[in-house]
């Protein structure tokens, strides 16, 4: 099969990203990335389960670095609801993350317990239990060394357990969460070294998330919510997202975000009804990768459904 110069150059970028992401001995694997993290909290923090006070479901798709062959794509589905007297929350999240020849799928169940800490404040504790399925098809790579033993055998449906935890505090105006959605350091790509002992090309690392936000009432028709997410993992730079959203007439959301030394983003959302909300985000890289002709930016879209009735109305519309 013949490849144009653009295809070859695009593949070089993909291989560089792939090797950086999975890298050799000790570089951290990164969890799926979200620009609209404030709407997809359950995927990173199990303590959020049930905290919207009703059944809530969100479906999200992200296409990253559009135009780059084999660039990351992520789909996630999260369902959660309070049960009983509202102290316990149950949730389910499924995340599919694909990068080049790798495909990872996470299946997680979430349980939270909430206590009242004041007249209008709550603190929740959560646990995430599940499994992680990894597939790697090295045949999709354009290998320079066809005899490289590290890429001879594909990985099919490698199953690994997952356990995570988190805490989440909120009032009607403020929220803050701290979580580690995967506490197990699963190892992949096992091989033998010259001493016939096991070694590993890639090892998962614990990702820590700190999220927070506040809602300001500017006037009866305008609300402002700054928010942030900080992600830390050993072996990778600290990731800091800062977002500013405005809610207009309790329907239209307009916002902008900045990912430190990585990207700028625009956000748009619309509350179609009390039950349905849609949202869209566009990222543009501020790194050298964003200046290439193969990267048209990243797109993210979500649809949220909540089991409310037309006459239900919250005193303060939930931004989080």
User: What is the bridge-based pairing of β-strands 198-203 and 155-170?
Assistant: unpaired
Is residue 189 domain-resident?
yes
Give me the CATH number covering residue 159: 2.40.160.60
Residue 197 has pLDDT above 80, yes or no: no
Is residue 7 domain-resident?
no
Confidence (pLDDT) at 58? 96
Are the beta carbons of 257 and 265 closer than 8 angstroms? Answer: yes
Domain count, the chain: 1
Is residue 20 domain-resident?
no
Domain span at 228: 46-306
Q: What whole-number distance in Å separates Cα of residue 320 and Cα of residue 317?
A: 9
Is residue 78 domain-resident?
yes
The pLDDT-based confidence of 153 (bands split at 50, 70, 90) is confident
Q: What is the CA radius of gyration of the chain?
A: 21
Kindly report, residue by residue over 36-90, the tens digit of the pLDDT.
999 999 999 999 999 998 999 999 999 988 888 888 899 999 999 999 888 999 9
The pLDDT-based confidence of 265 (bands split at 50, 70, 90) is very high
Kindly report, residue by residue over 45-57, the tens digit of the pLDDT.
999 999 998 999 9
Residue 3 has pLDDT above 80, yes or no: no
Confidence (pLDDT) at 21? 44
Buried-state track 119-158, b at ≥16 Cβ within 10 A, e below 16:
eeebbbebbbebebebebebeebeeeeeeeeebeeebeee
Q: What is the DSSP string of 213-275?
A: EE-EEEETTEEEEEEEEEEEETTS--EEEEEEEEEETTTEEEEEEEETTTEEEEEEEEE-SSS
| Nearest one of 137, 122, 119, 59 to 93, comparing CA atoms | 59
Is residue 24 domain-resident?
no
Q: What whole-number distance in Å separates Cα of residue 4 and Cα of residue 244?
A: 42
Is residue 57 domain-resident?
yes
Q: What whole-number distance in Å separates Cα of residue 161 and Cα of residue 306?
A: 30
Are the beta carbons of 296 and 311 closer than 8 angstroms? Answer: no
């Amino acid at each position: 099969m013949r490849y144009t110069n653009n295809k070859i150059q695009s593949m070089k970028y993909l291989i560089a990203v792939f090797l950086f992401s999975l890298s050799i001995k000790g570089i951290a694997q990164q969890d799926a990335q979200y620009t609209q993290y404030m709407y997809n909290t359950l995927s990173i923090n199990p303590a959020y389960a049930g905290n919207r006070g009703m059944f809530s479901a969100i479906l999200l798709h992200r296409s990253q670095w559009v135009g780059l062959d084999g660039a990351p794509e992520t789909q996630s589905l999260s369902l959660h609801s309070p049960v009983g007297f509202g102290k316990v929350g149950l949730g389910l999240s499924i995340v599919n993350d694909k990068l080049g020849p790798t495909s990872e799928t996470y299946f997680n169940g979430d349980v939270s317990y909430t206590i009242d800490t004041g007249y209008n404040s709550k603190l929740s504790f959560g646990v995430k239990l599940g499994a992680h399925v990894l597939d790697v098809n090295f045949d999709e790579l354009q290998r320079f060394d066809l005899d490289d033993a590290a890429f001879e055998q594909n990985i099919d449906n490698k199953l690994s357990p997952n356990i995570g935890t988190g805490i989440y505090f909120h009032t009607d105006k403020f929220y803050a969460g701290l979580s580690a959605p995967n506490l197990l350091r699963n190892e992949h790509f096992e091989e033998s070294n010259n001493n016939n002992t096991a070694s590993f090309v890639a090892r998962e690392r614990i990702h820590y998330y700190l999220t927070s936000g506040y809602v300001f009432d500017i006037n009866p028709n305008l609300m402002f919510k700054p928010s942030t997410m900080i992600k830390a993992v050993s072996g990778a730079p600290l990731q800091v997202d800062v977002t500013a959203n405005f809610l207009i007439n309790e329907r239209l959301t307009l916002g902008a975000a900045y990912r430190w030394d990585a990207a700028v983003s625009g956000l748009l959302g619309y509350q179609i009804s009390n039950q349905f909300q849609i949202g869209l985000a566009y990222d543009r890289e501020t790194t050298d990768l964003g200046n290439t002709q193969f990267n048209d930016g990243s797109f993210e879209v979500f649809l949220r459904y909540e089991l409310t009735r037309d006459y239900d109305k919250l005193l303060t519309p939930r931004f989080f």
